[in-house]
Structure 1
Amino acid sequence: MSTVLPSLGAGLVFGLALAAPPGPMNAVIAEESVVRGWSSGARAGLGAMSADALFFVLAALGLVAFVEQFPTIRAVMVGVGGLLMLYFAYGAANEMRTTFREAADPETDSAGFTKAFVLALTNPYQILFWLTIGVGLLNSGTVDVLSYTPYVGASLSNLLIVQTGSPALIVGFFGGIAVWVVGFPAALVAAEQRVDSFAPVVAALSAVVLGGFGVLFLWDAVQTLV
C-alpha cells in the first residue's frame, strides 16, 4: 500500500507531462474544442488516448517492436500520417471563421474521435514512445519521469524517479492523460466564450501546427524510403 499512492501520483504526473506539450494531437483537440465545443474536443482527446491504450496492449504482447524491424512499413505509416495531417490542416484553415456556438450535427461531432485516433496510430512519436519508454513501464526497474517531458525534459531530469512494473503506475499514467483530455478542451471552451476572436486564432494555429508536422512526417518517410 505504501508504494501504490506514490506510483499513482507519479503516473499521473507522467501522463500529464506527455499529454500537455504542443503537438499534432493537441492541435486537433484544440480545433475540435473551439469549433464544436467541449464534447467534441474531449472525443478527440479520447481518440488519441485510445490509440495509446492500443499501443499499450501491443507493447504488452510484444508486437509493437514489429514496426521497427521493417523500416519500409514504418516509413509508409509515417507518410500516411503526414498526408493526414496536411489534410486536417486544410480543414482547420477552412474552419477559421467558425465557432463552437454554431451547432454541429452528430456525425461531424463524432468525427474528432476518428480523426485523432487514426492520426495517433500513424504518429511516429507515439510509436517510438511505446517502443522504448512505454515498454519499460511494464518491466521492473526505474524511470526518470520528468526527463521524458517533450522540449524541456533535459532540465527536469532526476527530479522524479519511480519504480516501474507497477499496475498503479500504468493506471496513473492513463489517468493523467484522461485529466488532460477533459481539462484542456474545457479550458479552451471557457476562453472562447470570453474572447470572440479566440476560435479563428486556435483554428489558424492548429492548421499551422498540423501542416508543419505533416511536412516533417512526409520528409521523414521520404528519407527512409530513399
Structure 2
Amino acid sequence: MNAVIAEESVAHGWRSGVRAGLGAMTADICFFVGALLGVVAAIERLPTLRAAMVAIGGVLMLYFAYDTATDLQSGFRTADAAGADRGFRRAFVLAITNPYQILFWLTAGVALLDPGTVDVLAPLSTALAGWFVVQTGTPLLLVGLFGGIMLWVVGFPAVLIAARKRMDSFAPLTAAASAVVLGGFGVYFLVDAATLLIG
C-alpha cells in the first residue's frame, strides 16, 4: 500500500496520495466489519477462495506495476482528478485482495475486538512482561488503530511531497521503486496462490 501511496503522492500530489491511503483504509474498515460479522474467518476456511483472492491480487499488482512503469516513461506528473480517483481505486482493490491484510484481521484484528489484555513486550523478554499491557475490545483501542492509520495516510504523502520539492528527481525514482515493489509482490502472490491451489 505504501508503494501505491508513494507513487500517487509524487505523481499526482498530496491529495492523490491521501486518497490512495483512504482507499487502503477503506479496505481495512471493510475487513474490520467483516471481522465483526465473522466473514473474515469464513474466507480463511475456504482455501480455494483465499487462493483466488491472492491470485487476483498478484495479477493486479503486476498490472499496476506495468501501469506505473508506463506512467514513468510518459512523464507522469499531473494533478488531474482522474489520477486521484485512480489512486483510491488501486489502493482499495489491492488492499481488499491482500492476503496479509486478511491474515492481520484474522489474528491481530480479531484479538483487538475480543475483550481482554495483551502483554505486548512479554514475548520479547520476561523482564519486559507487564510494562506495556493493552486492553483489547475497547472503543478507544479501535479509535487509536484507525487514528494511527489516518495519521499515516495524511503524513506519509506530506513527507514525500516535501522531499520531492527539495529533489526534483525524487518523483521518477519513487515511481520506479513502486513499480519494482508492486511487480515483485505480484509475482510472489501468484506463486503463493499456485502453492495454495496445488498444496
Give your verdict on TM over 0.5: yes
- Alignment check: 8 A CA contact 1:59 1:130 kept: yes
Query: How big is the shift at 1:142?
Result: 2.0
Rate the CA distance shift 1:96–1:160 in 2: closer, same or farther, 3 A. Answer: farther
- TM-score relative to the length of structure 1: 0.81
| Structure 2 unpaired stretches of 5+ | none
Rate the CA distance shift 1:88–1:154 in 2: closer, same or farther, 3 A. Answer: farther
Query: Within the alignment, does 1:52 sit opposite 2:24 as a pair?
Result: no
Give SS of 1:44's match. helix
| Runs ≥4 residues deviating over 4 A | 144-147
- Alignment check: 8 A CA contact 1:34 1:99 kept: no
- Alignment check: 8 A CA contact 1:55 1:64 kept: yes
Q: How many residues align?
A: 194
- Alignment check: 8 A CA contact 1:46 1:181 kept: yes
Q: 1:59 is matched by which residue type in structure 2?
A: A
Query: Within the alignment, does 1:120 sit opposite 2:95 as a pair?
Result: yes
1:200 aligns to what?
172
Rate the CA distance shift 1:45–1:145 in 2: closer, same or farther, 3 A. Answer: farther
CA deviations over 1:66-88 (Å, ceiling 9, x no partner): 11111000000000000000011
Q: 1:139 aligns with which of 114, 122, 130?
A: 114
- How well do the aligned residues superpose, as a CA RMSD in angstroms? 1.9
2:45 aligns to what?
69
- TM-score relative to the length of structure 2: 0.91
Distance 1:141 1:154 in 2: 20
1:109 aligns to what?
84
- Counterparts of 1:1-226 in structure 2, within 5 Å, are 25-97=1-73, 98=75, 100=77, 103-145=78-120, 160-226=132-198
Query: How big is the shift at 1:29?
Result: 0.2
- Alignment check: 8 A CA contact 2:69 2:175 kept: yes
Query: How big is the shift at 1:95?
Result: 2.5
